[in-house]
């Protein structure tokens, strides 16, 4: 089997890193997969060992499809180029939703779109009823979650090689925010929870974010300085995130995900694979990964007191923390390892 992903831009974010992880999983089973990006972004470096293309010329896209001999073409979020598929292409056409956004809703609202695809694949169960009304009943919708790349695992200090890996202050636990500093990621709620914790514990806040995609970065700096928050902003190459997650874990801290919405967040799965516990807002997608007090902690969005209590439980109860970490690793191995993902995907394709 040979697959082509069609993605708008090679941004430094979840869509691109998830695609990289999937392709690496396919390779282990002898399946070829390539990516056609319409525009170049910061995330292109993730594909240095994967065949990929950048062009927004229709002719280039059509030539790639004609020469590629693909069995399946997967359009991620955007369907703008589906109409440009050459008539000679006889393979499967799949539309993939890795979250439910305003842009995705606009895409599926376009007329006659349901006549163009053979199937829809959603990254999480909560998306299915949202997308179903826009497509004919005979168009199948499948759910296919993420896989965690094998590069994500706990790394002790002796094996860390990234010279820029940050270090926390002595005896300080790190509470980490991972992702773009934007309204959707709800960084203001993170600061409210962190300030409660900071008043009782020795902690520091790490904002692991790309400044180029963080529209609220300046406001974050102003807010933290105004409230005397002990913080730092760090831009970490994706391949070095395991060392950062491991450092956070070693500090006795955790990842705190306060986002308003997610697809099926890498920022939940990847720290779990690195033995770094996660506290998250109880939102669709994220609560399909985390079972409260089993493999992580969930709190109701906006409930600052509950969010604070969840983080403090992980900071102060060593036995509970160990159990959460152990169960999180089991969850990754059972549901999100590469072999499980590929077998699940091949089963879906066989039914299209």
CB 56 within 8 A of CB 39: yes
What's the pLDDT tens digit per position in 101-127?
A: 888 888 888 766 666 889 999 999 999
Predicted pLDDT of residue 115: 67
Predicted pLDDT of residue 124: 92
Extract the tokens encoding 296. Answer: 């992580």
CA distance 187 to 189: 5
Q: Is residue 318 part of a domain?
A: yes
Assess whether 42 and 66 both reside in one domain.
yes
Assess whether 135 and 182 both reside in one domain.
no
Assess whether 93 and 52 both reside in one domain.
yes
* Helix (H), strand (E) at residue 234: strand 231-234
Assess whether 134 and 17 both reside in one domain.
yes
Assess whether 140 and 253 both reside in one domain.
no
What is residue 339's DSSP assignment? H
Smallest CA-to-CA distance from 46 within 266, 178, 239 is with 239
Assess whether 194 and 230 both reside in one domain.
yes
What's the pLDDT tens digit per position in 13-42?
A: 888 889 999 999 999 889 999 999 999 988
Assess whether 132 and 220 both reside in one domain.
no
Q: Is residue 257 part of a domain?
A: yes
Q: List, as own/partner pairs, every contact residues 159-166 make where C-beta atoms lie below 8 angstroms and the sequence separation is at least 24, other chains included.
A: 160/243, 160/246, 160/247, 161/243, 162/240, 162/243, 164/240, 165/240, 165/243, 165/244, 165/247, 166/206, 166/232, 166/234, 166/244, 166/247
Please give the residue range of the domain that contains residue 205.
Answer: 157-335
Q: Is residue 152 part of a domain?
A: no
CB 43 within 8 A of CB 12: yes
Assess whether 304 and 345 both reside in one domain.
no
Smallest CA-to-CA distance from 345 within 28, 69, 114 is with 28
Predicted pLDDT of residue 104: 84
Predicted pLDDT of residue 241: 96
CA dihedral of 251, 292, 99, 111, whole degrees rounded to 10: -170
Extract the tokens encoding 101. Answer: 């956004």
What's the pLDDT tens digit per position in 66-113?
A: 999 999 999 998 888 888 999 999 999 999 998 888 888 888 887 666
Going 130 to 135 to 140 to 142, the CA torsion angle's sign is: negative
Q: Report, as ranges of residue numbers, the positions in the chain whose pLDDT lies below 50.
A: none
Q: What is the pTM of this model?
A: 0.91
Predicted pLDDT of residue 250: 97
* Helix (H), strand (E) at residue 257: strand 254-257
Residue where the block lists tokens 């999983």: 25
Q: Is residue 268 part of a domain?
A: yes
What domain count does the chain have?
Answer: 2
3-state DSSP assignment of residue 300: coil
Strands 32-39 and 52-54: parallel
Give alpha helix (H) positions in 227-284: 241-250, 266-273
CA distance 17 to 25: 12
CA distance 1 to 97: 22
Extract the tokens encoding 16. Answer: 């691109």
CATH number reported for the structural domain that contains residue 281 in this entry: 3.40.50.2000
Neighbouring-strand partners of residue 212 = none
Assess whether 219 and 255 both reside in one domain.
yes
Q: Is residue 214 part of a domain?
A: yes
């Amino acid at each position: 089997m040979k697959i082509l992903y069609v993605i708008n831009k090679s941004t430094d974010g979840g869509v691109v890193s998830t695609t990289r992880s999937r392709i690496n999983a396919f390779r282990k089973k002898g399946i070829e997969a390539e990516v056609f990006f319409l525009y170049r972004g910061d995330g292109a470096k993730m594909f240095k060992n994967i065949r990929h293309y950048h062009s927004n010329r229709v002719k280039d896209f059509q030539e790639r499809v004609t020469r590629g001999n693909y069995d399946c073409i997967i359009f991620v979020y955007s369907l703008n180029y589906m109409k440009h598929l050459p008539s000679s292409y006889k393979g499967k056409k799949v539309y993939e939703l890795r979250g439910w956004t305003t842009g995705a809703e606009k895409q599926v609202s376009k007329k006659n779109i349901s006549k163009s695809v053979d199937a829809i694949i959603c990254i999480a169960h909560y998306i299915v009823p949202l997308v179903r009304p826009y497509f004919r009943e005979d168009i199948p919708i499948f759910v296919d979650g993420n896989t965690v790349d094998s590069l994500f695992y706990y790394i002790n200090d002796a094996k860390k090689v990234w010279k820029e890996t940050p270090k926390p202050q002595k005896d300080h636990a790190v509470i980490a925010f991972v992702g773009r500093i934007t309204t959707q990621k709800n960084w203001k709620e993170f600061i409210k929870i962190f300030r409660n914790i900071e008043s009782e514990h020795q902690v520091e806040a790490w904002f692991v974010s790309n400044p180029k995609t963080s529209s609220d970065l300046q406001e974050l700096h102003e807010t933290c300085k105004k409230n005397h928050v002990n913080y730092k902003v760090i831009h970490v190459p994706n391949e070095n995130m395991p060392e950062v997650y491991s450092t956070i874990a070693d500090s006795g801290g955790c990842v705190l995900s306060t986002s308003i919405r997610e697809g099926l967040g890498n920022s939940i799965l990847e720290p779990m694979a690195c033995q770094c516990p996660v506290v998250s807002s109880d939102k669709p997608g994220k609560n399909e990964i985390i079972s409260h007090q089993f493999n992580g902690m969930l709190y109701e969005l906006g409930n600052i007191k509950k969010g604070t209590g969840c983080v403090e439980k992980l900071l102060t109860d060593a036995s509970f923390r160990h159990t959460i970490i152990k169960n999180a690793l089991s969850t990754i191995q059972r549901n999100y390892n590469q072999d499980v993902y590929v077998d699940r995907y091949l089963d879906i394709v066989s039914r299209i």
